[in-house]
Amino acid sequence: MAGSSFGTVFRITTWGESHGKALGVVIDGCPAGLPLEEADIQRYLDRRRPGTSSITTPRKEEDAVEILSGVFEGLTTGTPISLMVKNTSQISRDYSEIAAVYRPGHADYTFDKKYGFRDYRGGGRSSGRETVGRVAAGAIACKILERLGIFVCAYTRSIGPIQADMSRFDRAFILSSPTAMPDPEASMAAMAYLEETRHNTDSAGGCMECIVEGLPAGIGDPVFEKLDANLAKAVMSIGAVKAVEIGDGSLVSQRKGSENNDGFRAEDGRVTKTSNHAGGILGGISDGDILVVRAHVKPTPSIFLTQQTITRDMENTQINIKGRHDPIIVPRAVVVMECMTALTVLDAMMINMPAKLESLEQFYGKK
């Protein structure tokens, strides 16, 4: 089925495979009048690009974005924005083994079961390169949110056993850090851990977190279109994510109610909370506090150790994956999480506009 679209009023549709001619996204429903140029998007794409340190693949992905439609004289027109990134650096190599054998932890086997065959070059549509479209679209969502005073920020919370100490949170460091951690000390320890992991031809998992500041209360719809439900879908749809948490997340299952409830407090006409265990969402609707989402990411499945597996012809065999792979997925996935969060929040805000009859009447003029 059509599974490459996300969002209702602000909707994106991504396309493209790892080794096809190009990848891209169509953003439909973007409000008219937003100043937009390629540099706005390129800035985000550069954050998911590898080749910047020892822990990302040295493969050079230029990922230069091109705006093909939807922008006129520097402003979005309200009609679909088509963005394309050409695949320029995909090396022609021998895929005969990957074509015949299912790599553990990858989607090779499940794609074959679903579709009968697959584009096996570099993982095809199940490759991490699929996220190029998400990030290009998310850059636009982030730009709109910023104009509304809403800031989305994702970072690495932990790598293997190394946790970021949030008391050392340094926002500026996130973008310059090879680990995307906000804590310089933890980042250094994580780099050492990853070096060792790579030396052992193994890979490491990690945890990433995204916060949203400035979000007004009242966003999200009860029951099935809860803001946290849509965030869970958005974030779980990122390849390799195996758990999603809101606020204190899995910790709540061992808590007492008296420990977990956040009291409300009024100060100078503003509402605050005595704590934010809820992560800014109550009953699926934003409460005006900081939104907190977390995702646990599995280790890169491509490792160089010998692994038990089967061939397409159902023969048992062993595989030794070759090539160069990141020893960890998280640092490059952080910007993807930021973008998926921004897309979810913006769509919910646009949908929310007619929630009160009063708003509809003010907009169109009560008669």
- Judged by CB under 8 A, the chain residues 218 through 237 that form the site for a second copy are 218-226, 228-237
Q: Does 187 bind a second copy (CB under 8 A)?
A: no
What does the block give as tokens for 127?
């490759």
Q: Does 48 bind a second copy (CB under 8 A)?
A: no
Give least dist CB 85 to a second copy, A: 11
Q: Identify the residue among 140, 184, 279, 323 touching a second copy (CB under 8 A).
A: 279
Q: Identify the residue among 160, 164, 179, 339 touching a second copy (CB under 8 A).
A: 160
Tokens 């048992």: give the residue.
Answer: 316
Tokens 């050392």: give the residue.
Answer: 168
Q: Identify the residue among 61, 262, 332, 334 touching a second copy (CB under 8 A).
A: 262
Half-sphere exposure in the Cβ direction for 133 (13 Å, CA)? 24
Q: Would the CA dihedral through 76, 77, 81, 83 be positive or negative?
A: negative
Nearer to a second copy, 78 or 178 (CB): 78
Q: Would the CA dihedral through 138, 139, 142, 143 be positive or negative?
A: negative
Q: How far apart are CA 145 and CA 214, in angstroms?
A: 9
Q: Does 1 bind a second copy (CB under 8 A)?
A: yes
> Would you give the binding string for a second copy spanning residues 77-106, x where CB under 8 A is met?
xxxxxx-x-----------------x-xxx
Buried b (16+ CB within 10 A) or exposed e, 131-162: bbbbbbbbbbbbbbbeeeebbbbbbbbbbbeb
Q: How far apart are CA 31 and CA 10, in angstroms?
A: 8
Phi, psi for 166 (deg, rounded to 5): -70, -15
Q: Interface residues for a second copy in 4-33 (CB under 8 A)?
A: 4-11, 13-17, 20-24, 26, 28-29, 31-33
Q: Does 197 bind a second copy (CB under 8 A)?
A: yes
Q: Does 341 bind a second copy (CB under 8 A)?
A: no
Q: Identify the residue among 50, 128, 138, 206 touching a second copy (CB under 8 A).
A: 206
Q: Identify the residue among 132, 287, 331, 345 touching a second copy (CB under 8 A).
A: 287
